[in-house]
């Protein structure tokens, strides 16, 4: 199966074959010449893309999404198999369905109408609310450097770029080698008019190869860790916009009203799912929960319920292969927590009897580590909800004016408790990068309209022309 997709005008490149799981993957020789040819073909195809109507593009993308959502989708099954073989993460733990379903069923058209006014400005000059003629045009070329930790997290960016009439060059991740090419093939088969707007080319290292991809780009969207983002940032040409989706963290807050019998059980079960879904590797994976004192269960008692929930959830969401460094760090923190318990410190450790299937660390004094641990949930008590913004600052969040080095910003929050008590926390966190607030259990399934990074790609990338009256 091909790990690449090229516009029809580009001659097929020399390829090599390798086996991954039960699949035979065909990959191109990613030379500067191949990248140059792909970029040139995307540039030649842009006038035809600009001539397409928004309705046609949206209908084609909706049809492609519907095809992938269908249980019998061969392309999706192959993509899932390749992802599972590359990462070791079982399909139940890293489902492809939720990110696809978030984009389907009219969600794409609704997103466009909510973000672009008037939507007709994508087709040509159209009057805005004041009667002034306006035109909205996307970048000439967007390069997407894709992640391998969570499948299809990049999909909204691709859909947005095609709606903006922006050709896309995609670099797949080693841990997700098939999904981008197979999705591009689906779109091109459904709408041959969009075939010239997509290219998928895997390449590894080499500034000369990357330069051919980046030098003509107006926008570069990169997903990944700090090292990957920094590496791409050094190659961004002058004038190009870099949209970096680097490491982010998600935390949870449980008010005392939700901390008693009959309520804490459902909160803990939902939190466990948020922590283990996608093997805890995503930017929306729950890593820390703050429990307010004064409930019918005190935080230390509630920790045992969270541990039981993690044990149950781990059976339904089994682990993949952990990163070696992350595994060593997790074992180190387990040992440290165990030592603190033995020394009589206000701490507790709950852990799976084998491997790193799940870990819960409760500590009333230490902040949680900056680097996410393997399938680990950190619990800490607070006397009052007002303490949460400050605790997040010490735990790697963003309310501090000078965040700690290496601490991923907290951009998502799960909350359980009365709505009237939630407001002050959100007001304190909103100026510091908080972009998503949800109930426990919903963190990992954001809607298409979620402003990943703080603003939609339309706000960041569209250029507007206005005709003064």
Return d(Cα 377, Cα 372) in angstroms, integer.
9
- The verdict on domain 15-246+452-467 having CATH code 3.40.605.10 is yes
3-class secondary structure per residue, 265-296:
HHHHHHHHHHHHHHHHCCCCCEEEEEEECCCC
User: Mean pLDDT throughout 378-396?
Assistant: 86
Could you state, in order of their start, the residue ranges of all structural domains in the chain? 15-246+452-467, 249-438
Tokens of 366: 């230490």
Report the DSSP pairing between strands 376-382 and 286-292: parallel
Return d(Cα 84, Cα 440) in angstroms, integer.
26
In terms of residues, how long is the chain? 469
Tokens of 399: 């309310």
CA atoms within 13 A on the CB side of 267: 26
- Burial per residue of 155-167, b for 16 or more beta-carbon CB atoms within 10 angstroms, e otherwise: bbbbbbbbbbbbb
Residue 402 binned pLDDT confidence (cut-offs 50, 70, 90): very low
Return d(Cα 363, Cα 373) in angstroms, integer.
15
**pTM for the predicted model, two decimal places:** 0.94
User: Mean pLDDT throughout 295-317?
Assistant: 96
Task: Round the average pLDDT of the chain to a whole number and report it.
Answer: 93
Residue 404 binned pLDDT confidence (cut-offs 50, 70, 90): very low
- What pLDDT does residue 205 have? 63
In the chain, what percentage of residues exceed pLDDT 90? Answer: 84
| pLDDT (tens digit per residue) in 171-228 | 999 999 999 999 999 999 999 999 999 999 999 866 788 888 899 999 999 998 888 8
User: Mean pLDDT throughout 289-295?
Assistant: 96
Q: Quick one: DSSP state of residue 2?
A: B
Q: How buried is residue 24: exposed, middle or buried, by Cβ count under 10 Å (0-12/13-18/19+)?
A: exposed
- What pLDDT does residue 212 have? 87
- What pLDDT does residue 375 have? 98
With a CB cutoff of 8 Å and minimum separation 6, the contacts of 222 are 144, 145, 228, 229, 232, 233, 242, 243, 244, 245
Closest CA to 371 of 413, 404, 336: 404
Q: How buried is residue 137: exposed, middle or buried, by Cβ count under 10 Å (0-12/13-18/19+)?
A: middle
Q: Which residues on adjacent β-strands are paired with residue 249?
A: 410
- The verdict on domain 249-438 having CATH code 3.40.309.10 is yes
């Amino acid at each position: 199966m091909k790990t690449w997709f090229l516009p029809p005008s580009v001659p097929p490149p020399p390829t090599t074959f390798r086996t991954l799981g039960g699949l035979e993957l065909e990959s191109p020789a990613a030379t500067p010449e191949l990248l140059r040819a792909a970029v040139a073909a995307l540039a030649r195809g842009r006038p035809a893309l600009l001539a397409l109507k928004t309705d046609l593009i949206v209908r084609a993308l909706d049809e492609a999404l519907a095809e992938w959502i269908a249980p019998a989708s061969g392309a999706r099954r192959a993509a899932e198999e390749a992802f599972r073989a590359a990462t070791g993460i079982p399909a139940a733990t890293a489902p492809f369905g939720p990110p696809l379903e978030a984009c389907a069923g009219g969600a794409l058209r609704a997103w466009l109408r909510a973000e672009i006014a008037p939507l007709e400005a994508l087709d040509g000059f159209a009057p805005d609310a004041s009667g002034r003629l306006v035109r909205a045009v996307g970048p000439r070329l967007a390069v997407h450097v894709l992640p391998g930790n969570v499948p299809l997290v990049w999909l909204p960016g691709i859909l947005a770029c095609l709606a903006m009439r922006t050709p896309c060059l995609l670099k797949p991740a080693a841990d997700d080698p098939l999904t981008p090419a197979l999705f591009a093939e689906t779109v091109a088969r459904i709408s041959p008019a969009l075939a010239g707007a997509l290219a998928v080319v895997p390449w590894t290292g080499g500034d000369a190869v990357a330069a051919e991809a980046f030098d003509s780009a107006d926008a570069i969207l990169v997903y990944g860790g700090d090292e990957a983002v920094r590496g791409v940032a050094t190659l961004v040409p002058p004038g190009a916009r870099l949209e970096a989706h680097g490491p982010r963290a998600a935390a949870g807050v449980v008010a005392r009203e939700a901390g008693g019998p009959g309520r804490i059980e459902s909160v803990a079960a939902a939190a466990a799912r948020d922590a283990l879904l996608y093997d805890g590797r995503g930017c929306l994976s729950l890593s820390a929960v703050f429990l307010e004192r004064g409930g019918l269960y005190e935080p230390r008692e509630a920790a045992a319920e969270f541990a039981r929930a993690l044990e149950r959830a781990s059976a339904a969401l089994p682990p993949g292969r952990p990163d070696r460094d992350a595994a060593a760090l997790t074992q180190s923190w387990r040992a440290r927590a165990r030592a603190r318990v033995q020394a009589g410190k206000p701490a507790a450790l709950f852990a799976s009897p084998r491997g790193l299937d799940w870990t819960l660390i409760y500590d009333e004094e230490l902040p949680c580590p900056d680097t996410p641990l393997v399938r680990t949930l950190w619990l800490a008590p607070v006397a009052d909800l007002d303490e949460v913004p400050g605790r997040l600052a010490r735990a790697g969040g963003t309310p501090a004016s000078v965040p700690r080095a290496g601490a991923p910003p907290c951009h998502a929050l799960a909350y359980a408790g009365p709505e009237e008590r939630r407001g002050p926390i959100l007001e304190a966190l909103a100026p510091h990068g908080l972009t998503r607030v949800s109930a426990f259990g919903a963190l990992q399934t954001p809607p298409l309209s979620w402003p990943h990074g703080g603003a939609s790609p339309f706000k960041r990338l569209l250029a507007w022309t206005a005709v003064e009256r």
